[in-house]
A and B are shown apart, each in its own frame.
Chain A
Amino acid sequence: MRRGNVVSIESSCGWKENCWQKFSPRRPVLRVSLFITCYNDTLFPATGKAVVRVLERLGHTVDFPAGQTCCGQMHWNTGYQAEALPLLSRFVEQFRGSEAVVVPSSSCVAMMRDHYPKMAEELHDAKLKAEVAELLPKVFEFSEFLTKRLGLEDVGAYYPHRVTYHASCHGLRNLGLGDGPQRLLRAVRGIDLVEIAGLEQCCGFGGTFAVKNAEVSSAMLAEKTTAILNTKAEACTACDNSCLMHIQGALHRQRTGVQTVHLAEILAGDEGAQ
């Protein structure tokens, strides 16, 4: 499939009724810059590929600024502010001038929205401050980009599995994603979406919290995996691979056979690809 090719969209998504008219030509084609985030780049490349697939299938073009690394969340949240500050300038350098920045991680977007303005303030750099103010409104978490920026719910996905959705805390509380991710999921063909009990309960990851307070983190995780298992889902999805890595760690340790999968990977699902 060639990027941005409308014809290939129609043929690959398996979506019969006037598929491409829904996307274009009314919808403008955007040049989307992908901020993959350090841990997705290293540990979850499949999520990045899925984001690219969904965005291109919708007719947009994707670029990937090569010098990008990390948003600084781990350092900032653990108390290493001095180490996080240079990463702000790096992010701005890489994404300055982007039409839209898409990030498949709520917590990284929360880091940027909640702390970048203050960080720019601390650096006493008026130019950087102005650039941050200009860039931040263009930064979107992946599901948020689809529902709020593009106004979509049905992105033409097919995923014939029983799935439960985990609302990550940063997506829920810091970004206010609301039921956006669930609306995207409900529109997926073939999916059997089942609600989890205690949707708003933290899974216990919390970055370095998971190792610094491993015991408490484990106890929180036990409640979450119990809730997941109670749904009898085959897979648990979320907008954050960090929560999912944590949840998957326990689901695998207990050999439950339940998978974790990033929302983007479900939305990238096509008929024929299953």
Chain B
Amino acid sequence: MSGTALDPKTAPTFPMAARSMMGDTQLRKNVRHATDVIQAKRARVVGEMPDWQELREAGKQIRQHTMEHLDFYLEEFERNCTKAGGVVHWARDAAEARQIIVGLVKEAGAQEVIKIKSMTTEEIQLNVALEAEGIHAYETDLAELIIQLGHDQPSHIVVPALHKNRQQIREIFRREMNLPELGESPQDLADAARRFLREKFLRVKTGVSGANFLIAETGGVCVVESEGNGRMCLTLPETLITVAGIDKVVPRFADLEVLLQLLPRSATGERMNPYNSIWTGVDAADGPKVFHVVLMDNARTEILGDAEGRQTLNCIRCGACQNACPVYRQTGGHAYGSVYAGPIGAILTPQLQEMHHAQTLPYASSLCGACYEVCPVKINIPEVLIHLRNKVVKQNGMLNAEALAMRAMGIIFRSERRFRAAQRMGRMAEAPLVRKDGRGQGWIGWLPGLLGGWTQVRDLQSMPEETFRDWWEKREKKEVTRGN
């Protein structure tokens, strides 16, 4: 993967991208290992909660309620944050958000910023915009640092460097930090990162963060993390700029009681995040003196306007669906062409793009439902995928091979007579392709066109001589004869 930012507008189709990812043996091994480990940890800490299903339901209710009254809670957040000394900005889209943030950084007179891991800043490609203005952004989350130094892209919303193993990380650090003697133990790597980052923490005066939750009731912002590097970014700089999607708001401080149980257990398989930072505005005695929050829409209100797609916004970005997804497990995250990979990406990305890009993503699922099963706020991802598939079909019209075939099948299924005729025709049509095995069973090893995908690695048993309904009819006749 090159350093080019993941962009749904220019990304190849999912099947194409998946194909190239699947050629990378190392990546597949790393993804499989990492998702196995996280899933096992998650299962363990979820299993010890007797009220997990009730918690999920509570999480869902909180998020659903928030989305139904989003305007109210956003304004409440703005009022309370402002009261506490924060400055709230509203950004309609990614471009506006970038413009506001770049402007604020310049206003602070900064040439460099330190960043906390934030998928929202990845979504709007903030680092590219900052670089263009001569401002260097240092990623301080260990995984994001690996991604940045490796000129790579995040492949998971919680564990962005999940596709890299320790040896690969060591190579990146050796090269980029100029440490030819670096060992490969976790301790060695953590030490190297610490030395590299500490110097940035002490020098750079402007921080940029995302947010896990915006608390309407208090105007506070919550960020959870594992390393403490986030806490450094939140407390050491003089100016702090937080950017958050408008979906991140929660009504009350007490709602965190539910969400901060659901999130860490689902995300990293921990009972609690090692670092939970919640801050409200500014304080003369401590922390940043200037605090900005950029509330970004970027197509979220369009999603909110769609009754069936709306539940997508309930997501609290735990990544459990990615770990559970058998498709993600094979391809890793980059195949999704967006920072939001896996099942949540497959529903979020096309909606953020108003369905004009990423049309293949809603089809990047076998609808197995593993994502829905683990989702801590019960987003019915398969249901949304189907809803989005319907949108894709409507967008593409009826004049293509698939749509015509589907239409023909629809006409066939609406009549028993036509269905029986189609069964007979199917048998005739397949006849030239059928080869008999030693026991007289027919098999098809090659199919043309779209169906060729099937026979790439699978045979297809030929159609039996008699359909079930033919057999049944004969049997009924016999019964009648016998009965008479």
Binding site for B on A (CB under 8 A): 3, 36, 38, 40-46, 48-49, 64, 66-70, 72, 74-84, 86-87, 90, 114, 169-170, 173-174, 200-202, 204-222, 245-246, 248-250, 252-253
User: Residue B407 at the A interface, CB < 8 A?
Assistant: yes
8 shortest interchain CB distances as A-B pairs? A206-B366, A249-B458, A79-B389, A214-B453, A83-B410, A202-B368, A211-B453, A48-B468
A214 CB contacts on chain B under 8 angstroms:
15, 453-454, 456-457
Asked whether, in the complex, the Cβ of A202 is within 8 Å of the Cβ of B370, the reply is yes
A77 B461 Cβ-Cβ under 8 A: no
Q: Which of B181-189, B212-220, B313-321, B325-333 forms contacts with chain A?
A: B325-333
Report yes or no: A64 in contact with B472, Cβ–Cβ below 8 A.
Answer: yes
CB-CB nearest in chain B for A51: B468
Given contacts A211-B450, A249-B454, contact A43 B464 (CB under 8 A): yes
A48-B419 Cα distance, complex, nearest whole Å: 17
The answer to whether A40 and B367 touch across the interface, beta carbons within 8 angstroms, is no
- Which residue of B has the minimal Cβ distance to A82? B410
The one of B389, B407, B458, B461 in contact with A221, judged by C-beta atoms closer than 8 angstroms, is B458
Name the one of B370, B393, B414 contacting A87, with C-beta atoms under 8 angstroms. Answer: B414
Q: Which residues of B sit under 8 angstroms from A74, Cβ to Cβ?
A: 406, 409
Chain B hits for A205, CB < 8 A:
366
> Are A42 and B363 CB-contacts (below 8 A) given A75-B409, A211-B454?
no
Q: B365 contacts A215, CB within 8 Å?
A: no
Q: Judging by beta carbons under 8 Å apart, are A169 and B456 in contact?
A: no
Looking at the complex, which one of B330, B362, B406, B443 makes contact with A83 (CB distance below 8 Å)?
B406
**What distance in Å separates the Cβ of A106 from its nearest Cβ neighbour in chain B?**
12
CB contacts (< 8 Å) of A82 on chain B: these are 410
> Which among A38, A213, A252 is the interface contact of B364 at CB below 8 angstroms?
A213
B-side contacts of A90, CB under 8 Å: 413-414
Q: Which residues of B contact A204 (CB under 8 A)?
A: 326, 366
Known A-B contacts A77-B389, A79-B390; A252 and B459 likewise in contact (beta carbons under 8 Å): yes
B413 and A64 within 8 A (CB): no
- Please report B residues at the A interface, Cβ cutoff 8 Å: 14-15, 18-19, 22, 326-327, 330-331, 360, 362-370, 372-373, 383, 386, 388-393, 403, 406-407, 409-410, 412-416, 419, 423, 426, 443, 445, 450-454, 456-461, 463-464, 466-473, 479
B457 / chain A contacts, CB cutoff of 8 Å? 214, 218, 221-222, 249-250, 253
Which of A169, A216, A250, A252 makes the CB contact (< 8 A) with B443? Answer: A252
Q: List 9 A-B contacts (CB under 8 A).
A: A3-B479, A38-B419, A80-B393, A169-B369, A204-B366, A215-B18, A216-B331, A217-B366, A218-B458
Q: Bound complex: CA of A255 vs CA of B451, how far in Å?
A: 21
A91–B466 Cα gap in the complex (Å)?
23
Minimum C-beta distance from B79 to chain A (A)? 39
Other A-B contacts than A213-B363, A216-B15, 6 sampled, CB-CB below 8 A, are A48-B472, A78-B406, A209-B367, A214-B453, A214-B456, A216-B18
Give the CA-CA distance A45 to B473 in the complex, in Å.
Answer: 13
C-alpha spacing A173/B466, complex, angstroms: 33
Out of A66, A68, A77, which one reaches B367, CB within 8 Å? A77
Q: How far is the CB of A47 from chain B (nearest CB, A)?
A: 8
Contact in complex: B370, A173 (CB < 8 Å): yes
Closest to B410 in A: A83
Q: Is the CB of A200 within 8 A of B370?
A: yes
Given A49-B468, A81-B390, A169 contacting B365 (CB threshold 8 A): no
Nearest neighbor of A219 in chain B, beta-carbon distance: B330
